[in-house]
A = this chain, B = another copy of it.
Amino acid sequence: MNAPVSTPISAPALTKNQSLVFDVLDRSDAPMSAYTILDRLRDHGFRAPLQVYRALDKLLEFGMVHRLESLNAFVACAHPESECCGKGHGHGHGTVAFAICESCGHVSEFHDHEVDHRLSDWAKTKNFKPAKTTIEIRGLCGACAA
Protein backbone atom coordinates (compact mmCIF):
# COMPACT_ATOMS: atom_id res chain seq x y z
CA MET A 1 0.00 0.00 0.00
CA ASN A 2 2.98 2.26 -0.51
CA ALA A 3 2.75 2.83 -4.23
CA PRO A 4 1.97 6.16 -5.83
CA VAL A 5 -1.71 7.10 -5.80
CA SER A 6 -3.28 9.24 -8.48
CA THR A 7 -3.72 12.79 -7.28
CA PRO A 8 -6.25 15.32 -8.56
CA ILE A 9 -3.99 17.75 -10.37
CA SER A 10 -0.27 17.12 -10.10
CA ALA A 11 1.91 15.76 -12.85
CA PRO A 12 3.60 12.48 -11.85
CA ALA A 13 1.33 10.69 -9.42
CA LEU A 14 2.66 11.37 -5.96
CA THR A 15 2.87 9.04 -3.03
CA LYS A 16 1.14 9.94 0.19
CA ASN A 17 4.27 11.37 1.80
CA GLN A 18 5.18 13.29 -1.30
CA SER A 19 1.73 14.90 -1.48
CA LEU A 20 1.80 15.80 2.17
CA VAL A 21 5.17 17.50 1.85
CA PHE A 22 4.21 19.25 -1.35
CA ASP A 23 0.94 20.52 0.07
CA VAL A 24 2.67 21.98 3.08
CA LEU A 25 5.17 23.78 0.86
CA ASP A 26 2.54 24.88 -1.60
CA ARG A 27 0.43 26.44 1.11
CA SER A 28 3.35 28.28 2.66
CA ASP A 29 4.11 31.79 1.49
CA ALA A 30 7.73 31.50 2.55
CA PRO A 31 10.43 28.88 2.13
CA MET A 32 10.48 26.10 4.70
CA SER A 33 13.32 24.02 6.08
CA ALA A 34 13.03 20.25 6.07
CA TYR A 35 12.71 20.26 9.83
CA THR A 36 9.94 22.82 9.80
CA ILE A 37 8.09 20.68 7.31
CA LEU A 38 8.66 17.71 9.58
CA ASP A 39 7.07 19.56 12.48
CA ARG A 40 4.06 20.50 10.40
CA LEU A 41 3.55 16.85 9.55
CA ARG A 42 3.93 15.23 12.95
CA ASP A 43 0.17 14.92 13.14
CA HIS A 44 0.19 13.00 9.91
CA GLY A 45 2.55 10.38 11.19
CA PHE A 46 5.89 11.89 10.28
CA ARG A 47 8.53 11.07 12.84
CA ALA A 48 11.95 11.40 11.18
CA PRO A 49 13.81 13.83 8.89
CA LEU A 50 14.37 11.16 6.27
CA GLN A 51 10.68 10.94 5.58
CA VAL A 52 10.80 14.58 4.59
CA TYR A 53 14.10 14.44 2.74
CA ARG A 54 13.06 11.45 0.69
CA ALA A 55 9.87 13.16 -0.39
CA LEU A 56 11.77 16.36 -1.15
CA ASP A 57 14.29 14.48 -3.29
CA LYS A 58 11.51 13.20 -5.48
CA LEU A 59 9.71 16.50 -5.66
CA LEU A 60 12.95 18.21 -6.67
CA GLU A 61 13.47 15.55 -9.32
CA PHE A 62 9.95 16.19 -10.63
CA GLY A 63 10.66 19.92 -10.73
CA MET A 64 7.76 20.63 -8.40
CA VAL A 65 9.94 22.02 -5.66
CA HIS A 66 13.07 24.14 -5.61
CA ARG A 67 15.83 24.22 -3.08
CA LEU A 68 17.11 27.63 -2.01
CA GLU A 69 20.79 27.06 -1.40
CA SER A 70 21.41 30.27 0.46
CA LEU A 71 18.67 29.41 2.93
CA ASN A 72 18.87 25.65 3.18
CA ALA A 73 15.17 25.69 2.56
CA PHE A 74 12.59 24.65 0.01
CA VAL A 75 9.73 26.25 -1.92
CA ALA A 76 7.03 24.92 -4.19
CA CYS A 77 7.67 25.83 -7.81
CA ALA A 78 5.80 29.01 -8.60
CA HIS A 79 5.01 28.19 -12.21
CA PRO A 80 1.34 27.28 -12.45
CA GLU A 81 2.01 23.78 -13.65
CA SER A 82 2.80 24.00 -17.32
CA GLU A 83 6.21 23.90 -18.94
CA CYS A 84 7.92 24.77 -15.73
CA CYS A 85 11.52 23.87 -15.25
CA GLY A 86 11.86 20.80 -17.36
CA LYS A 87 9.45 18.48 -15.64
CA GLY A 88 9.58 14.86 -16.43
CA HIS A 89 12.17 14.26 -19.07
CA GLY A 90 15.49 15.77 -18.42
CA HIS A 91 17.53 18.90 -18.48
CA GLY A 92 14.77 21.45 -18.59
CA HIS A 93 15.03 24.46 -20.83
CA GLY A 94 15.98 27.14 -18.40
CA THR A 95 17.41 28.13 -15.10
CA VAL A 96 15.19 29.72 -12.55
CA ALA A 97 16.25 32.66 -10.45
CA PHE A 98 14.95 33.68 -7.04
CA ALA A 99 14.59 37.01 -5.29
CA ILE A 100 14.40 36.43 -1.56
CA CYS A 101 13.20 39.12 0.81
CA GLU A 102 15.21 39.01 4.00
CA SER A 103 12.54 40.89 5.87
CA CYS A 104 9.25 39.17 5.07
CA GLY A 105 10.67 35.97 3.64
CA HIS A 106 8.73 36.20 0.43
CA VAL A 107 10.36 34.60 -2.60
CA SER A 108 9.81 35.58 -6.22
CA GLU A 109 10.72 33.08 -8.86
CA PHE A 110 11.61 34.30 -12.31
CA HIS A 111 13.44 33.42 -15.44
CA ASP A 112 15.62 35.39 -17.80
CA HIS A 113 16.68 33.92 -21.11
CA GLU A 114 19.45 36.41 -21.58
CA VAL A 115 21.06 35.54 -18.25
CA ASP A 116 20.78 31.88 -19.13
CA HIS A 117 22.34 32.56 -22.46
CA ARG A 118 25.28 34.51 -21.06
CA LEU A 119 26.01 31.84 -18.51
CA SER A 120 25.89 28.99 -20.98
CA ASP A 121 28.04 31.01 -23.36
CA TRP A 122 30.63 31.33 -20.65
CA ALA A 123 30.39 27.60 -20.04
CA LYS A 124 30.84 26.81 -23.72
CA THR A 125 33.96 28.88 -24.09
CA LYS A 126 35.41 27.26 -20.97
CA ASN A 127 34.30 23.82 -22.00
CA PHE A 128 32.36 23.51 -18.79
CA LYS A 129 29.32 21.22 -18.74
CA PRO A 130 26.65 22.73 -16.49
CA ALA A 131 24.41 20.37 -14.56
CA LYS A 132 22.54 22.75 -12.30
CA THR A 133 22.65 26.50 -11.92
CA THR A 134 21.69 28.48 -8.85
CA ILE A 135 20.75 32.15 -8.97
CA GLU A 136 19.54 33.77 -5.78
CA ILE A 137 19.20 37.46 -5.01
CA ARG A 138 18.79 38.33 -1.38
CA GLY A 139 17.56 41.73 -0.38
CA LEU A 140 14.35 43.60 0.38
CA CYS A 141 11.15 43.29 -1.58
CA GLY A 142 9.24 46.37 -2.68
CA ALA A 143 6.83 46.22 0.23
CA CYS A 144 9.53 45.85 2.88
CA ALA A 145 11.95 48.40 1.38
CA ALA A 146 9.31 51.13 1.37
A interface residues, Cβ below 8 angstroms from B: 69-70, 97, 99, 101-102, 108, 110, 112, 114-115, 118-119, 122-123, 126-142, 145
- Copies of this chain assembled into the complex: 2
Besides A128-B139, A134-B137, 13 new A-B residue pairs in contact (Cβ under 8 A), listed by A number:
A69-B69, A70-B134, A97-B122, A102-B131, A108-B126, A108-B128, A114-B114, A119-B135, A127-B142, A129-B140, A130-B138, A131-B138, A133-B135
Check A138 against B133 for contact (C-beta < 8 Å): yes
Alpha-carbon distance between A123 and B97 when the two chains are bound, in angstroms: 12
Q: Which residues of B contact A145 (CB under 8 A)?
A: 127-129
Q: Which residues of B contact A141 (CB under 8 A)?
A: 126-128
